[in-house]
Amino acid sequence: MTASQETPTIQFELDGRQVEVPDDGSSLLGTLRDRLGSRSPKDGCSPQGQCGCCTVLVDGQPRVACVTPTRRIKGRSVTTIEGLDQSDQDRWANAFCATGASQCGFCTPGIVVRLAGLEAKKPDASHDDVNKALAAHLCRCTGWQTIHEAWDLRNETGVELPASDAASQRAKIEGGVAQAAGPEVALGRGGFADDGAPDDALVAVRTADDRWVVGETVHEARERAGKIQGRRTTLEPRYPLDLPEGDWAATLQTTWTEPGYLETDASWARPDGDAASPLANAGAFGGKADSPVQEIARQLAAEHGRPVRVLFSREDTVHFGPKRPPVAGGMRSDGTGILRVVATPGIDEHIAAVAPGLTVEHIDVADQLATSAAIRGAGWIEALCLHTLATGATQRVAMPDSPAWAEAEVDDDTIRVRVHAGAIGDPTTLRSYCIGAAHMATSLVRSEALTVDDDGVVQDLTIRSFGILRAVDMPTVEVELVDSDEPSVNGSDLVFGAVAAATSLHLGATQWPHT
């Protein structure tokens, strides 16, 4: 190959050092993660420029790396979270840890980088300014409020941090899987599945006809797969189930929704080793309970004789990931009635736990998607809200054989929560999970929906089209934690139910989303 035929390269500054990479058409995010080993920027939307997880600073200005071509960065300066001064990394990480502003930690590196850019430009920025900055981001776990609190705390010295063991223990109770806790999690070092893959691993992605193709980089694999970028439809969401006929005190009808976890399913494996769990540091609200990516990683690593990374795109998670089962039900004031649910094994017992007077009817629908009773609160949240609408009063939410309970009051501006979850352990983590659950509940009732056509094909394939409530739209959440000597148990799921019920009653929301 002559000099004129050599692959052109791109030089730029990354975190204070000069780097040179092939000009292969990759996005900046692909270059950072695949070529330069910089794993703090995350891929949450593959690539739509809509989640903010990959945010970096380019010449000091925030930029989403997933939709920024690397060739546009030639000769410029790129700063990831590792490029911030160590003192700045420490104060941001400590502030996020001390307020519970980072749970799984997938979205927070991008948020920290954007807030660092805001601080450099406007050190006295208001909460309105922070909300404007956060408009470029999604956070599914924390409910936004704790991020504002971290902003307020960022310059405080001697910040008291939760004990990591107690925080991890409470996080595991609330999230259902092991989860790292500590300042390093806010910096993107929680141990996500794809972050630990070897540098020499092949990358495998799914094609439109359900095959897996591999490449040396994500960019190469996606080109070989002919990946088609997801779009948002102009069609309106619809309700797959009709309400049962009857003389009801209240009815409730819901549509398809997407769990919307930010870390899409990922795994990697060596030819002679086990595969990384897609639940490495996040439970995905039950959405990854039966993910196929581990087994696919094992098979492909054995086939190619090399480590292989298996990555779902955002479109893959929407098309193939399990959904919350839609319902349509009616209830009399005495608690009896009928709840129709898109056929989902195992959901009856969840519904009976809060509304034993409901007869559950499983319905197969033409636009059937994969559903799961493992999705957070599936079935029983809807039954609880129907009961609340039928009786006209909120109630203390509890589960059989558990000491835990939660109560909620909702108005236009504030959500007030009182929760008993046994021994509190770490109050920062429990409070963060409760605020996050309040966000998920009010978002589910108010705004979330997924458009599915008559053939059962999802049409809303961008993460912004799911209707997840933005920071600017989130009410203030006040949390009272009730301590006891009883064993620590999950409390945030009950907060999810209590806030959904109180929100439904406050809005008179007989259809979700409430319009």
Residue-level pLDDT at 97? 97
Question: How many contiguous H segments (helices) and E segments (strands) does the chain have?
Answer: 14, 18
Q: Is the residue at 284 inside a domain?
A: yes
Hey, what's the torsion of the CAs at 203, 291, 378, 402, to 10 degrees? -120
Q: Where are the beta strands (DSSP E) in 188-321?
A: 202-206, 212-215, 250-254, 266-269, 308-311
Furthest CA-CA distance within the chain: 84
Contact (CB, 8 A) for 266 and 282: no
Query: How are beta strands 250-254 and 327-331 bridged, if at all?
Result: antiparallel
Instruction: Classify residue 504: in a domain, yes or no.
Output: yes
One domain for residues 500 and 381 = yes
Quick check: is 180 in a domain? Answer: yes
Chosen domain end from 191, 212, 239: 191
Q: What is the CATH number of the domain that holds 39?
A: 3.10.20.30
Residue 238's CB: how many other CB atoms inside 10 A? 14
d(CA 214, CA 234): 33
pLDDT of residue 69: 98
The CA distance from 111 to 144, in Å, is 11
**Does residue 183 share a domain with residue 37?**
no
**Where in the sequence is the domain holding 94, given as residue range(s)?**
83-191
- Provide the whole-model pTM: 0.96
Query: Which of 53, 79, 105 lies at the terminal end of a domain, its last residue?
Result: 79
The residues near 17 (Cβ < 8 Å, ≥ 6 apart) are none
- Residues listed for the chain: 515
- CA pair distance 87, 81, nearest whole angstrom: 12
As given in the structure block, the two tokens for residue 499 are 């806030």
Q: Does a structural domain hold residue 28?
A: yes
The pLDDT tens digits of the residues spanning 326-374 come to 999 999 999 999 999 999 999 999 999 999 999 999 999 987 899 999 9
182 lies in the same domain as 228: no
Low-confidence ranges of the chain (pLDDT < 70): 1-5
Structure tokens at 67: 């939709």
Instruction: Look at residue 3 in the predicted model and tell me its pLDDT.
Output: 43
Residue type, position 162, single letter: P
The angle formed by the CA atoms of residues 408, 410 and 414, to the nearest 5 degrees, is 110
Q: Is 187 left (phi over 0), alpha (psi -120 to 50) or beta?
A: alpha
Kindly give, in sequence order, each residue whose CB lies less than 8 Å from that of residue 450, ignoring residues fewer than 6 positions away. 237, 255, 256, 257, 258, 318, 323, 458, 460, 465, 466
The pLDDT, as a whole number, for residue 2 is: 43
Angle at 514 between CA 470 and CA 240, to 5 degrees: 110
The SS3 call for residue 390 is helix
241 and 309 assigned to the same domain: yes
- Give the end of a domain, one of 47, 79, 111: 79
* CATH code: domain of residue 338: 3.30.365
Enumerate residues 6+ apart whose C-beta is below 8 A from 136: 52, 55, 62, 64, 114
CB-based contacts of 170: which residues, under 8 Å, 6+ apart? 424, 425, 426, 429, 430, 433, 488
Q: Extract the tokens encoding 161.
A: 């941090």
Residues 94 and 75 in one domain: no
- pLDDT the model gives residue 455: 86
Q: Which tokens hold the place of 165?
A: 């063991």
pLDDT for residue 5: 57
Same-domain status, 288 and 354: no
Cα–Cα distance between 94 and 100 in angstroms, integer? 10
Among 154, 64, 130, 187, smallest CA distance to 471 is for 130
Please state the three-class secondary structure of 393-449 as a single string.
Answer: CCCCEECCCCCCEEEEEECCCEEEEEEECCCCCCHHHHHHHHHHHHHHHHHHHHCCC
- Only one residue has tokens 């780097």, namely 19
Q: CB count, 10 Å around CB of 464?
A: 15
Same domain, 381 and 503: yes
> Looking at the structure, do residues 407 and 450 belong to the same domain, yes or no?
yes
Same domain, 348 and 470: yes
Q: Residues 424-474: pLDDT tens digits?
A: 999 999 999 999 999 999 999 999 999 999 888 999 999 999 999 999 999
Strand, coil or helix: 27:
strand
Show the tokens assigned to 463. Answer: 């993460």
Residues 58 and 96 in one domain: no
Terminal CA-to-CA distance of the chain, rounded, Å? Answer: 63
The number of folded domains in the chain is 4
Encoded amino acid at 73, one letter: I
Indicate the residue type of 505: L
Per-residue pLDDT, 454: 86
Q: Is 281 left (phi over 0), alpha (psi -120 to 50) or beta?
A: alpha
Q: What is the CATH number of the domain that holds 168?
A: 1.10.150.120
Is residue 392 in a domain? yes
Domain match, 174 and 210 both: no
Gap between the Cα atoms of 224 and 220, Å rounded: 6
**How far is Cα 74 from Cα 60, in angstroms, rounded to an integer?**
15
Is 95 among the domain residues?
yes
- Look up residue 24 and give its DSSP letter: S
Output phi, psi for 99, to 5 deg.
-100, -5
Q: Are 32 and 80 in contact (CB under 8 A)?
A: yes
Same domain, 335 and 471: yes
Is 255 a domain residue? no
| Domain assignment present for 460 | yes
